[in-house]
Amino acid sequence: MKKITFLLFFLAFLTAAQTPCVNGFADIYPCNNYDLLSHISLNTLAGNGTEGNDSWGWTDPNTQKEYALMGINKGVVFIDITNPLTPIILGTLKTSTVNSSWRDIKVYKDYAFIVSEALNHGMQVFDLKRLRTVTTPPEEFSADVHFTEFGSAHNIVINEESGYAYIVGASRSSTYIGGPIFINIQDPLNPISEGGFAAGGYSHDAQVVTYNGPDNDYTGKEILIGSNENEVVIADVSDKNNPKVIATISYTNVRYAHQGWFTEDFKYFILGDELDELRIGNNTRTIVFDFTDLDNPLYHFDYVGSNAAIDHNGYVKNNIYYLASYTAGVRMIDVSDATNKNFTEVGYFDTYPNNNNTAFNGVWNVYPYFPSGNIIISDIDDGFFVIRKSGTLGLENQKLKNSFSLYPNPVSEKVTIRMANNKTINSVRVFSILGKKVIDLNTINQSEYVLNTTHLNKGIYLVKVNSTLIKKLVVN
């Protein structure tokens, strides 16, 4: 009975991984100022052959529960992260055609809208309220609506204020040559196509807002900012029958204008060029434009990061630019001093600890908009992560401050145990999965201790520090 009880505890423990950022690491993941709350591997999400891509979030307006929508090559996985330490996989909505590495998800009025570059995928619409009644997870879901008036698409953009979706990156041979397609989704289960916009050319990604910025000429207008490979296009799409290009702007050493986002005051637009690091050799470069006058956009400055990782998607919340930077993880950049051409990195969480090479591995997307402050990350190679700014967990965070980290993990020969805040390690005990004590060390009296694991068999163990703190250790 004792072994069964321990095993049940162990299995429960595996689902509750709460790891602080201590001395630059949260478990095996390099970090600064952001803690790891939980992680789900790709294999756990959807089995062998799974790859990660896009992600988005939904907060249930009735229950305030938080849900992650994790894109994979096989479809979309829905995860309840209301308790971010014990996320629950509720089920998967499979792709409507064949698997694809490219998928994009947005949310409007409690519905998810999903597109993919899979052949003839169209747009799936899924009623997120169905997640409230899942009783036997994980389930296999079907779409509530399959909209087929276009085929494949790279991305979908939604203006939640107007109730319009904008399909971008559709086939270049289509009517709108890959420019935005206008879909009225005000009744989410009855999408209506209302034309499109070819004049701006192929758009890889976009942001559409109901404008309330410094240019009074466009107050209340629906403004689209297209990241269009070799330039940025500003368009007024208020009148779907008569969309108009307002202005275009490019920049030095353009290689692929990939994706961008307004600052919250609409004064500046922050753009990532996806291929300049690869083709030019510079460190991560973020291009900032002055959009104070939409008719006369100006190049403002380049922000150059600390490594050569490729930048992908970026979003702004409360003057922090959350940048999914592939192999360098998510970088948190303070943009409050944009006027003075000054951006400052204030944190990061690197889900791809192997390296920061210029390669298409690691983080695809980050979603920072949950009211709780929880942040989700979708990683191409390593699955789903929930992180949070250090020092924001109240009483739970006090437990984090007294926690410890293990590095490396998995381990083959030696693992370093580090206590948070230079607390003292008094004892270390290691247990097998069946509850057998295999290491028992006392009176260590150090804040960091190197534990020899060469005599342990391959497998999963529990490391218990000071009789109360427990973490999983994998020996390979």
**CA nearest neighbour of 409 among 430, 424, 389, 391:** 430
Q: Evaluate whether 227 touches 258 at the Cβ level (below 8 Å).
A: yes
Tens digit of each residue's pLDDT (9 = 90 or more) over 218-253:
999 999 999 999 999 999 999 999 999 999 999 999
Does residue 389 sit in the same domain as residue 409?
Answer: no
- Segment 343-354 shows an average pLDDT of 97
Helix (H, G, I), strand (E, B) or coil at 241: coil
pLDDT of residue 10: 46
Side chain identity at residue 250, one-letter code: S
Residue 173: CB atoms within 10 A of its CB come to 8
Tens digit of each residue's pLDDT (9 = 90 or more) over 275-330:
999 999 999 999 999 999 999 999 999 999 999 999 999 999 999 999 999 999 99
- Average pLDDT of the residues of the chain: 92
- How many structural domains does the chain have? 2
Helix (H, G, I), strand (E, B) or coil at 340: helix
Does residue 453 sit in the same domain as residue 353?
Answer: no
Predicted TM-score of the model (pTM): 0.82
**CA nearest neighbour of 166 among 119, 121, 108:** 108
More confident residue, 162 or 404: 162
Measured over the CA atoms of residue 148, residue 154, residue 159 and residue 160, the dihedral's sign is positive
Q: Which of 349, 370, 398 is the last residue of a domain?
A: 398
Side chain identity at residue 95, one-letter code: T
Does residue 346 sit in the same domain as residue 456?
Answer: no
pLDDT of residue 172: 86
Tens digit of each residue's pLDDT (9 = 90 or more) over 392-449:
864 344 444 557 888 888 888 999 998 877 889 999 999 886 778 899 999 899 989 9
pLDDT of residue 407: 84
pLDDT of residue 98: 83
Tokens standing for 317?
């919340």
Q: Residue 470 maps to which CATH number?
A: 2.60.40.3080
Does residue 186 sit in the same domain as residue 77?
Answer: yes
Flag whether pLDDT at 11 surpasses 60. no
Does residue 317 sit in the same domain as residue 416?
Answer: no
Domain that residue 464 falls in: 404-475
Q: Residue 315 maps to which CATH number?
A: 2.130.10.10
Does residue 186 sit in the same domain as residue 271?
Answer: yes
Q: How many Å apart are CA 222 and CA 235, to the nearest integer?
A: 9
